[in-house]
A and B are shown apart, each in its own frame.
Chain A
Amino acid sequence: MIRCLEDKTLFLLSEGEASEEQRSHLQSCQVCTERYHEIERDLRLITQTLRREPPPLPVTAPRAPVLFRSLPIAAGVLLAITLMWGESRLWRPDSSSEQTFSGDVSQFLEQVSEAIFDSGSMGEVEPASSDSDLASVQVALGENCSDECRGLFNEPLATITKSKVKAVDRPVIAAKRRPIDPAMQRMVLDRAE
């Protein structure tokens, strides 16, 4: 006596293929006979259903492949990146030229400062003649700017500094001017006289 048949064997039996031993088992075993009839019944139902008119198939508009579908997205991203890069490039200050310019100005001011306050002994400040100071400034600024240097030298130091600062175009922090006390002003004027 063999054990109950597998589904595939039962299916092969329905196809007319199996050994004599399997056939005899099918005839003697109630469970296998029921399973066999179940397969036949299911197969008949499936075949009947599929013999009928197939369901309407969906008509789909041809869609572009994934590569082409993602092309507009890629183009959009690329455009956004380009715009952002261009924007940052446009508004970014040119640091290299600024550094060079400010370096030149500070070097120039150092030279002017050295020329004016003669780097000798800091403690002993001797009153320097205006001619010698002018000569020092000319040496510092070069020979071709004698007129300009003379004009600068004749002006008060505060004015020169102010004009230089203006030329450099540094950001100037405007200090709030406090109102002058009239009593203080009178006292200063008296002393000056």
Chain B
Amino acid sequence: MPDKETPSFEGLYKAHHLKVQRLCRMLLRDSAEAEETGQEVFLKMFKQYQTASWPNDWSAWLTRVTVNACHDRRKSAWWKWWRSSNGEVQLAEYPSSARTPEQEVLGREQQIHIWHAFRELSGRQQEVFVLRYLEGWSTEEVAKTLAISEGSVKNHLFRAVHNLREALKNNGDGS
């Protein structure tokens, strides 16, 4: 149970909600779905917060719960239908970092290609890539969280990297 020294639920929410939302938006394709899944994750966190068994690392716990929640969401038939009806990738306006307009345009195109290629990856490949390269987890931790073998994690990771690099090459050839 929480006491004065332990973090409050509000504090945990403020510290992690951006990261959870970001993960949901990466692994899901629709912003409303991502929002809903994020709320679902924090509801689970609230339930966990009320129990006596707290995780050692809330951040890792939230990452694992979020990835699994997105995985479950994608497995539903409703999600499959939803995903097939959406396809466009539009890039947000990033702050310019003293680059020429040509570089800016090329950079934007490259980013769009990378994001598009990432969205084209399978759900499992996305999960493995995010946990391994963006969250910085080890192969063993990824395998444990996703309940798959380490060999399978490496295979998914290699295919994900290969597809993303192909997208980069195609962009380079095209421009």
A interface residues (Cβ-Cβ under 8 A, vs B): 7-8, 11-12, 15, 17, 39, 42-43, 45-47, 49-60, 63, 65
Nearest to B115 among chain A residues (CB) is: A55
Contact in complex: B91, A59 (CB < 8 Å): no
With A15-B139, A42-B168, A55-B91 known as contacts, the answer to whether A50 contacts B30 (CB < 8 A) is: no
B22 at the interface (CB under 8 A from A): yes
Given A54-B25, A60-B85, 17 further pairs, Cβ under 8 A: A11-B161, A15-B157, A43-B161, A45-B114, A46-B133, A46-B168, A50-B129, A51-B134, A53-B22, A54-B26, A55-B90, A55-B112, A55-B115, A58-B31, A59-B30, A60-B32, A63-B85
Cα–Cα distance between A39 and B160 once the two chains are bound (Å) = 13
Determine the interface band of chain B, counting residues with CB < 8 A from chain A: 35 or more
Bound Cα distance A58, B161 (Å): 25
Give the residues in chain A near B31, CB-CB below 8 Å: 56-59
Among candidates A11, A49, A58, residue contacting B90 with C-beta atoms closer than 8 Å: A58
- CB pair B139–A55 under 8 Å, yes or no, is no
Question: What residue in chain A is nearest B160 (Cβ atoms)?
Answer: A46
User: Can you offer 18 A-B residue contacts whose CB atoms are under 8 A?
Assistant: A17-B154, A42-B164, A42-B165, A45-B114, A46-B133, A47-B134, A49-B115, A50-B130, A52-B111, A55-B90, A55-B112, A57-B28, A57-B29, A57-B30, A58-B30, A58-B86, A58-B90, A59-B31
Also in contact, A49 and B110, with CB within 8 A (given A39-B165, A43-B133, A55-B89)? yes
A residues in contact with B91, CB < 8 Å: 55
Find out whether the CB atom of A12 lies under 8 angstroms from the CB atom of B154: yes
Q: Is B143 an interface residue (CB 8 A)?
A: no
